[in-house]
Amino acid sequence: MVAGAPRCGTTALFRWAAAHPQIGTPRIKETRYLNDPGHPLFNPRSNYPKHGLEGYNRIIPYRIGARAYLEATPDYMYQETALSVLAELPTKPKIIFLLREPAERMLSLFKYAMNNVGSLDARLSIQECLLAARDGRPLGDQILNSAFQHSVYHTWLEKWISRLGRSRVHVYFFDELANEPLKMMRDFCRRIGVDEEFYDTFHFRPENQSYVVRSPVLARAKFALRKLRPAARPARSIIRAYHAINARRDARAPAVDKALNDQLRDRFAEHNRRLAQLLQRELPSSWNAG
C-alpha cells in the first residue's frame, strides 16, 4: 500500500509499479476506498463503511503471474479508517510512504491547486497561499488548509509505526525517486518480492507534472467529475484532448521569495529533526534549512 504523501511522487511510483508484470493494481491510482467519511475526497459510491472488505476485494482485479498487489491513495496517511483497517488485516501488508521536503511539498500542492485544478482564486499569489498555510489562515479548502499540518510528517508516521510495527512501514524520499529511480525501484521490488531486473531497461517517465490551465472553470468541472466517479478512468484519447484544449505547459512557474522559503524551512527544522530520529536515518541533504 502506497499510503502517502500527496505531491511527493506517488503517481510515478504507482505507474511504474503497474507496468511490472508481477504486480497487480487497480485500473486507477487513488481508489480512496479507505478514506474517512467527511474527508473532501471520500468516495461516496465505493467505500469501506458501506461495503467492508468484500467491496475492497473487488477493487484490484486478479492478475495472472502476480506476486504482489498494490494500491496507492496518498491521503491514507491521514485517515483513521485506512490505519485501522490495514493494521488489522491478517495478510499484514507493507505500507510505503514517499516524503518530500515540506516547504517544497507545500509549494507543489498550491501550484497544483492553482494551476492544474483551478480551485484557488486567481488573484491570490503563491506567496499569499504559503503565508496563509503557515499562519493557519483558512483558504476555503480543507486539504489546502491542512497543508502545513500534513507536512509535519513525524506526527502521522508515529501512528502508523505504533499500530503496524516498524518492519511493515518504509519511507522513500522524493529525492530518491527523482534522482535515482532505478535504485529505488530495485529496492522496492526486493521489499515486495518481485523481479527487480524488470526495471533495468525501463523508461522512467515523469508523471502528474504541473501545468497551467487556460480555463479554471473547465478544470474544476473535470475534477468534480473525478470526485463523483473516482474509479472510472477516461480513455487516453479523452485525456489527451483535455490537455490539448486546456493545458499550457509553456507557462513559467511563479518564483517564491527566498526569505519566505527560508522561514518555512526554519519552521519545519525541528519537525524534520524528529522525523530523522523516528526513521533512524539521515534526511536528504536538500532538506537542510538555508
Q: DSSP states of 3-34 as a string?
A: EE-TTSSHHHHHHHHHTSTTEE--SSS---TT
Nearest-angstrom CA–CA distance, 46 and 231: 8
Lowest-confidence range among 116-125, 160-169, 267-276?
Answer: 116-125
pTM value is 0.83
pLDDT at 139 over 90: no
Q: What is the pLDDT of residue 82?
A: 98
Q: What is the pLDDT of residue 246?
A: 46
Percent of the chain with pLDDT over 90: 62
pLDDT at 273 over 80: yes
pLDDT at 218 over 70: no
Question: Domains in the chain, ordered, with CATH?
Answer: 2-287 (3.40.50.300)
210 or 6, which is more confident? Answer: 6
User: Please, are residues 95 and 168 in contact by the beta-carbon 8 Å criterion?
Assistant: yes
- The chain-wide mean pLDDT, for the chain, equals 86
What average pLDDT score do residues 97-104 get?
97
What average pLDDT score do residues 213-237 get?
51
Nearest-angstrom CA–CA distance, 54 and 222: 30
What average pLDDT score do residues 148-173 get?
97
Tens digits of residue pLDDT in 35-52? 999 999 999 999 999 999
What average pLDDT score do residues 166-190 get?
97
Beta carbons within 10 angstroms of residue 20's beta carbon: 23
pLDDT at 247 over 70: no
What average pLDDT score do residues 169-179 get?
97
